[in-house]
Protein backbone atom coordinates (compact mmCIF):
# COMPACT_ATOMS: atom_id res chain seq x y z
CA UNK A 1 0.00 0.00 0.00
CA UNK A 2 1.41 3.34 -1.11
CA UNK A 3 -0.38 5.76 1.18
CA UNK A 4 -3.25 8.18 0.79
CA UNK A 5 -3.89 9.97 -2.49
CA UNK A 6 -5.81 13.18 -3.15
CA UNK A 7 -7.20 14.56 -6.39
CA UNK A 8 -9.46 17.59 -6.75
CA UNK A 9 -10.66 19.78 -9.56
CA UNK A 10 -9.48 23.03 -7.99
CA UNK A 11 -6.64 24.17 -5.79
CA UNK A 12 -8.78 25.19 -2.81
CA UNK A 13 -10.46 21.78 -2.76
CA UNK A 14 -7.08 20.06 -2.71
CA UNK A 15 -6.05 22.16 0.31
CA UNK A 16 -9.26 21.10 2.08
CA UNK A 17 -8.67 17.40 1.36
CA UNK A 18 -5.09 17.66 2.63
CA UNK A 19 -6.56 18.34 6.08
CA UNK A 20 -8.25 14.94 6.68
CA UNK A 21 -5.65 13.29 4.45
CA UNK A 22 -2.82 14.41 6.72
CA UNK A 23 -4.62 13.20 9.85
CA UNK A 24 -5.36 9.80 8.32
CA UNK A 25 -1.82 9.42 6.99
CA UNK A 26 -0.35 10.13 10.43
CA UNK A 27 -2.64 7.59 12.11
CA UNK A 28 -1.96 4.95 9.45
CA UNK A 29 1.78 5.61 9.29
CA UNK A 30 1.79 6.15 5.52
CA UNK A 31 2.63 8.94 3.10
CA UNK A 32 0.16 11.53 1.82
CA UNK A 33 0.26 12.36 -1.89
CA UNK A 34 -1.63 14.99 -3.89
CA UNK A 35 -2.05 15.32 -7.64
CA UNK A 36 -1.46 18.65 -9.38
CA UNK A 37 -2.13 19.59 -12.98
CA UNK A 38 0.21 22.56 -12.50
CA UNK A 39 3.70 21.84 -11.18
CA UNK A 40 3.83 25.35 -9.70
CA UNK A 41 1.33 24.24 -7.04
CA UNK A 42 3.61 21.48 -5.70
CA UNK A 43 5.40 23.66 -3.06
CA UNK A 44 2.06 24.87 -1.71
CA UNK A 45 0.64 21.35 -1.44
CA UNK A 46 3.79 20.18 0.35
CA UNK A 47 3.57 23.13 2.76
CA UNK A 48 -0.03 22.14 3.53
CA UNK A 49 0.78 18.53 4.39
CA UNK A 50 1.60 16.49 1.29
CA UNK A 51 4.65 14.24 1.43
CA UNK A 52 4.59 13.77 -2.33
CA UNK A 53 3.07 15.70 -5.21
CA UNK A 54 2.41 13.92 -8.49
CA UNK A 55 2.50 16.45 -11.32
CA UNK A 56 0.17 15.31 -14.09
CA UNK A 57 1.12 15.59 -17.76
CA UNK A 58 -0.42 18.58 -19.56
CA UNK A 59 -3.69 17.94 -21.35
CA UNK A 60 -3.68 18.10 -25.11
CA UNK A 61 -5.66 20.91 -26.76
CA UNK A 62 -9.36 20.18 -26.48
CA UNK A 63 -9.00 17.49 -23.81
CA UNK A 64 -11.28 17.77 -20.74
CA UNK A 65 -10.18 17.14 -17.16
CA UNK A 66 -11.86 13.74 -17.35
CA UNK A 67 -9.02 12.66 -19.61
CA UNK A 68 -6.95 12.19 -16.45
CA UNK A 69 -9.03 9.12 -15.51
CA UNK A 70 -6.76 6.84 -17.55
CA UNK A 71 -3.62 8.45 -16.12
CA UNK A 72 -4.86 8.17 -12.53
CA UNK A 73 -5.86 4.55 -13.08
CA UNK A 74 -2.42 3.69 -14.51
CA UNK A 75 -0.65 5.25 -11.54
CA UNK A 76 -2.96 3.55 -9.04
CA UNK A 77 -2.22 0.15 -10.56
CA UNK A 78 1.53 0.78 -10.34
CA UNK A 79 1.64 2.24 -6.81
CA UNK A 80 -1.45 0.67 -5.15
CA UNK A 81 -2.69 3.44 -2.84
CA UNK A 82 -4.68 2.40 0.19
CA UNK A 83 -7.04 5.39 0.17
CA UNK A 84 -8.05 7.72 -2.67
CA UNK A 85 -9.96 10.92 -1.83
CA UNK A 86 -11.52 13.04 -4.58
CA UNK A 87 -13.34 16.37 -4.40
CA UNK A 88 -17.09 15.88 -4.87
CA UNK A 89 -17.76 18.50 -7.51
CA UNK A 90 -20.01 17.33 -10.37
CA UNK A 91 -16.91 16.69 -12.51
CA UNK A 92 -15.00 15.16 -9.58
CA UNK A 93 -17.81 12.71 -8.89
CA UNK A 94 -17.81 11.59 -12.51
CA UNK A 95 -14.04 11.11 -12.48
CA UNK A 96 -14.24 9.16 -9.21
CA UNK A 97 -16.96 6.83 -10.51
CA UNK A 98 -15.09 6.06 -13.72
CA UNK A 99 -11.84 5.55 -11.81
CA UNK A 100 -13.46 3.20 -9.27
CA UNK A 101 -14.87 1.13 -12.14
CA UNK A 102 -11.42 0.84 -13.77
CA UNK A 103 -9.83 -0.17 -10.47
CA UNK A 104 -12.65 -2.58 -9.60
CA UNK A 105 -13.16 -1.04 -6.18
CA UNK A 106 -15.96 0.59 -4.19
CA UNK A 107 -16.78 4.28 -3.91
CA UNK A 108 -18.58 6.23 -1.18
CA UNK A 109 -19.89 9.45 -2.69
CA UNK A 110 -20.60 12.75 -0.93
CA UNK A 111 -18.76 12.02 2.33
CA UNK A 112 -18.95 14.39 5.28
CA UNK A 113 -16.70 12.44 7.65
CA UNK A 114 -13.67 10.13 7.46
CA UNK A 115 -12.38 7.98 10.32
CA UNK A 116 -10.29 4.89 10.93
CA UNK A 117 -12.27 2.00 12.37
CA UNK A 118 -11.09 0.73 15.75
CA UNK A 119 -7.48 1.77 15.29
CA UNK A 120 -7.12 -0.24 12.07
CA UNK A 121 -6.33 0.94 8.57
CA UNK A 122 -9.94 0.39 7.53
CA UNK A 123 -11.51 3.68 6.49
CA UNK A 124 -14.97 4.40 7.86
CA UNK A 125 -16.73 6.87 5.55
CA UNK A 126 -19.77 8.88 6.64
CA UNK A 127 -22.42 10.55 4.53
CA UNK A 128 -25.84 12.04 5.19
CA UNK A 129 -28.99 10.12 4.29
CA UNK A 130 -32.71 10.92 4.18
CA UNK A 131 -32.18 14.64 3.78
CA UNK A 132 -29.73 14.83 6.66
CA UNK A 133 -31.86 12.93 9.17
CA UNK A 134 -29.41 10.02 9.38
CA UNK A 135 -25.71 9.33 8.95
CA UNK A 136 -24.67 6.30 6.95
CA UNK A 137 -21.33 4.65 7.74
CA UNK A 138 -19.66 2.84 4.85
CA UNK A 139 -16.73 0.40 4.82
CA UNK A 140 -14.92 -0.89 1.75
CA UNK A 141 -12.93 -4.13 1.76
CA UNK A 142 -11.41 -3.52 -1.69
CA UNK A 143 -8.39 -1.31 -2.28
CA UNK A 144 -8.05 1.52 -2.81
CA UNK A 145 -10.77 2.68 -0.46
CA UNK A 146 -12.32 5.53 -2.44
CA UNK A 147 -14.45 8.47 -1.31
CA UNK A 148 -15.59 11.77 -2.75
CA UNK A 149 -15.73 14.58 -0.20
CA UNK A 150 -18.08 17.54 -0.46
CA UNK A 151 -16.33 20.91 -0.92
CA UNK A 152 -16.35 22.94 2.26
CA UNK A 153 -16.60 19.90 4.53
CA UNK A 154 -13.12 20.52 5.98
CA UNK A 155 -11.10 23.63 6.63
CA UNK A 156 -7.95 24.01 4.49
CA UNK A 157 -4.92 22.24 5.95
CA UNK A 158 -2.55 24.28 8.10
CA UNK A 159 0.39 25.72 6.17
CA UNK A 160 3.88 24.86 7.43
CA UNK A 161 6.31 26.62 5.06
CA UNK A 162 9.35 24.60 6.21
CA UNK A 163 7.87 21.20 5.28
CA UNK A 164 9.85 19.09 2.83
CA UNK A 165 8.42 16.80 0.19
CA UNK A 166 9.04 15.03 -3.08
CA UNK A 167 7.78 16.11 -6.49
CA UNK A 168 7.19 13.32 -9.02
CA UNK A 169 6.56 13.94 -12.73
CA UNK A 170 3.88 11.57 -14.00
CA UNK A 171 4.46 10.20 -17.49
CA UNK A 172 1.67 8.25 -19.10
CA UNK A 173 0.90 7.08 -22.61
CA UNK A 174 -2.81 6.94 -21.79
CA UNK A 175 -5.00 9.34 -23.70
CA UNK A 176 -8.68 10.03 -24.26
CA UNK A 177 -10.64 10.16 -27.47
CA UNK A 178 -12.96 12.77 -25.94
CA UNK A 179 -12.42 16.33 -27.14
CA UNK A 180 -14.02 19.63 -26.17
CA UNK A 181 -15.67 21.03 -29.28
CA UNK A 182 -16.69 24.43 -27.88
CA UNK A 183 -17.10 26.35 -24.63
CA UNK A 184 -19.64 28.97 -23.61
CA UNK A 185 -19.56 31.09 -20.48
CA UNK A 186 -22.28 30.52 -17.91
CA UNK A 187 -23.82 33.75 -16.70
CA UNK A 188 -23.76 34.08 -12.93
CA UNK A 189 -25.84 36.60 -11.03
CA UNK A 190 -24.04 37.81 -7.93
CA UNK A 191 -21.31 36.16 -5.91
CA UNK A 192 -20.85 32.47 -5.16
CA UNK A 193 -23.14 31.77 -2.18
CA UNK A 194 -20.89 28.94 -1.01
CA UNK A 195 -18.23 31.56 -0.20
CA UNK A 196 -20.60 34.02 1.55
CA UNK A 197 -20.16 34.74 5.26
CA UNK A 198 -23.74 36.02 5.56
CA UNK A 199 -26.68 34.63 3.60
CA UNK A 200 -30.23 35.98 3.39
CA UNK A 201 -32.42 33.15 2.13
CA UNK A 202 -36.02 33.47 0.92
CA UNK A 203 -38.67 30.79 0.88
CA UNK A 204 -42.33 30.42 -0.09
CA UNK A 205 -43.31 32.73 2.75
CA UNK A 206 -42.17 35.60 0.54
CA UNK A 207 -45.51 35.93 -1.21
CA UNK A 208 -44.63 38.30 -4.02
CA UNK A 209 -41.64 39.15 -6.15
CA UNK A 210 -42.30 42.77 -5.17
CA UNK A 211 -41.17 41.90 -1.64
CA UNK A 212 -37.75 40.95 -2.99
CA UNK A 213 -36.71 44.60 -2.91
CA UNK A 214 -36.96 44.54 0.88
CA UNK A 215 -34.96 41.32 0.94
CA UNK A 216 -32.23 42.88 -1.17
CA UNK A 217 -32.16 45.90 1.13
CA UNK A 218 -31.71 43.66 4.17
CA UNK A 219 -28.89 41.79 2.42
CA UNK A 220 -27.22 45.10 1.62
CA UNK A 221 -27.49 46.29 5.24
CA UNK A 222 -25.93 43.11 6.69
CA UNK A 223 -23.42 42.69 3.84
CA UNK A 224 -24.83 39.33 2.77
CA UNK A 225 -25.66 37.39 -0.37
CA UNK A 226 -29.18 36.38 -1.36
CA UNK A 227 -30.12 32.70 -1.69
CA UNK A 228 -33.41 30.82 -1.81
CA UNK A 229 -35.21 27.52 -1.45
CA UNK A 230 -35.72 25.31 -4.49
CA UNK A 231 -39.32 26.39 -5.33
CA UNK A 232 -38.31 30.06 -5.49
CA UNK A 233 -35.72 29.25 -8.16
CA UNK A 234 -37.43 26.48 -10.12
CA UNK A 235 -41.14 27.36 -9.84
CA UNK A 236 -41.27 31.11 -9.21
CA UNK A 237 -37.98 31.77 -11.05
CA UNK A 238 -37.34 34.90 -8.97
CA UNK A 239 -33.71 33.88 -8.49
CA UNK A 240 -31.30 31.71 -10.54
CA UNK A 241 -31.01 28.00 -9.77
CA UNK A 242 -27.36 28.42 -8.81
CA UNK A 243 -28.38 30.11 -5.53
CA UNK A 244 -30.92 27.64 -4.18
CA UNK A 245 -29.82 25.78 -1.08
CA UNK A 246 -30.53 22.22 -0.09
CA UNK A 247 -29.62 18.59 -0.54
CA UNK A 248 -29.94 18.86 -4.33
CA UNK A 249 -28.64 22.45 -4.46
CA UNK A 250 -25.78 24.31 -2.83
CA UNK A 251 -24.52 23.41 0.64
CA UNK A 252 -23.28 26.36 2.64
CA UNK A 253 -21.78 27.11 6.05
CA UNK A 254 -21.89 30.89 6.54
CA UNK A 255 -21.27 32.69 9.80
CA UNK A 256 -24.92 33.84 9.70
CA UNK A 257 -27.90 32.41 7.82
CA UNK A 258 -31.09 34.48 7.79
CA UNK A 259 -34.15 32.58 6.59
CA UNK A 260 -37.16 34.63 5.53
CA UNK A 261 -40.37 32.69 5.02
CA UNK A 262 -38.41 29.42 4.84
CA UNK A 263 -40.48 26.49 6.11
CA UNK A 264 -37.42 24.38 6.87
CA UNK A 265 -38.06 21.07 5.11
CA UNK A 266 -35.28 18.54 5.67
CA UNK A 267 -34.11 18.84 2.07
CA UNK A 268 -33.34 22.52 2.64
CA UNK A 269 -31.95 22.16 6.16
CA UNK A 270 -29.45 19.58 4.87
CA UNK A 271 -27.86 22.39 2.87
CA UNK A 272 -27.58 24.91 5.73
CA UNK A 273 -26.98 22.74 8.79
CA UNK A 274 -23.28 23.72 8.99
CA UNK A 275 -24.14 27.44 9.39
CA UNK A 276 -22.64 28.89 12.57
CA UNK A 277 -25.81 30.83 13.42
CA UNK A 278 -29.27 30.24 11.93
CA UNK A 279 -31.87 32.99 12.33
CA UNK A 280 -35.39 32.48 10.98
CA UNK A 281 -38.47 34.61 10.41
CA UNK A 282 -41.74 32.77 9.75
CA UNK A 283 -45.38 33.48 10.53
CA UNK A 284 -45.98 29.82 11.45
CA UNK A 285 -44.70 29.14 14.94
CA UNK A 286 -44.69 25.40 14.16
CA UNK A 287 -42.51 25.74 11.06
CA UNK A 288 -39.71 23.11 11.06
CA UNK A 289 -37.10 25.82 10.49
CA UNK A 290 -37.40 26.83 14.14
CA UNK A 291 -36.14 23.38 15.18
CA UNK A 292 -32.90 24.10 13.32
CA UNK A 293 -32.69 27.81 14.22
CA UNK A 294 -30.57 29.35 16.97
CA UNK A 295 -32.82 32.43 16.97
CA UNK A 296 -36.26 33.03 15.49
CA UNK A 297 -39.05 35.53 15.15
CA UNK A 298 -42.66 34.44 14.68
CA UNK A 299 -44.27 37.09 12.55
CA UNK A 300 -45.21 38.40 9.12
CA UNK A 301 -42.08 38.93 7.04
CA UNK A 302 -43.57 42.09 5.53
CA UNK A 303 -43.64 43.66 8.99
CA UNK A 304 -40.51 42.09 10.48
CA UNK A 305 -38.05 42.74 7.63
CA UNK A 306 -38.48 46.56 7.59
CA UNK A 307 -37.90 46.57 11.36
CA UNK A 308 -34.76 44.49 10.91
CA UNK A 309 -33.51 46.85 8.21
CA UNK A 310 -34.04 49.90 10.40
CA UNK A 311 -32.59 48.40 13.56
CA UNK A 312 -29.61 46.66 11.97
CA UNK A 313 -28.94 49.71 9.83
CA UNK A 314 -28.77 51.80 12.98
CA UNK A 315 -26.55 49.36 14.84
CA UNK A 316 -24.24 48.78 11.89
CA UNK A 317 -24.39 52.44 10.91
CA UNK A 318 -25.12 51.58 7.28
Cα angle value 130/134/140 (rounded, 5°): 100
pLDDT at 185 over 80: no
Q: Is 86 left (phi over 0), alpha (psi -120 to 50) or beta?
A: beta
pLDDT for residue 167:
93
Helix (H/G/I), strand (E/B), else coil: 69: helix
Size (the chain), residues = 318
Tell me if 61 sits within 8 A of 175, measured CB to CB. no
pLDDT for residue 188:
60
The lowest-confidence range among 24-38, 50-64, 178-192, 212-226 is 178-192
Helix (H/G/I), strand (E/B), else coil: 275: coil
In angstroms, what CA-CA distances link 164 with 16, 18, 217, 293?
19, 15, 50, 45
Strand partners, 166: 52
Residue 175's pLDDT band (cuts 50, 70, 90): low
Which phi and psi angles does 155 have, rounded to 5°? -75, 155
pLDDT tens for residues 19-58? 999 999 999 999 999 999 988 899 999 999 999 999 998 8
Sequence-distant (≥ 6) Cβ neighbours of residue 242 within 8 angstroms:
188, 189, 193, 250
pLDDT tens for residues 221-270? 999 999 999 999 888 888 888 899 988 788 898 999 999 999 998 889 98
Strand partners, 53: 34, 167
In angstroms, what CA-CA distances link 132 with 123, 260, 271?
21, 21, 9
pLDDT at 173 over 60: no
pLDDT tens for residues 143-154? 999 999 988 888
Amino acid sequence: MDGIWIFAERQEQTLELLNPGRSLADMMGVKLAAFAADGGLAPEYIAHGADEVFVLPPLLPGQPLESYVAVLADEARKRTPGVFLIGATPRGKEIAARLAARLNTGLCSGCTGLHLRDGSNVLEMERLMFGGKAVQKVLCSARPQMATVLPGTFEPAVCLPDRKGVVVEVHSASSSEVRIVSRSARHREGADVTEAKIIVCVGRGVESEEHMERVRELARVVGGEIACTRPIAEECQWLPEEVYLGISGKRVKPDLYIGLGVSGQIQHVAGIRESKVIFAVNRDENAPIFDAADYGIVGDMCRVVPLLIDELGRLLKV
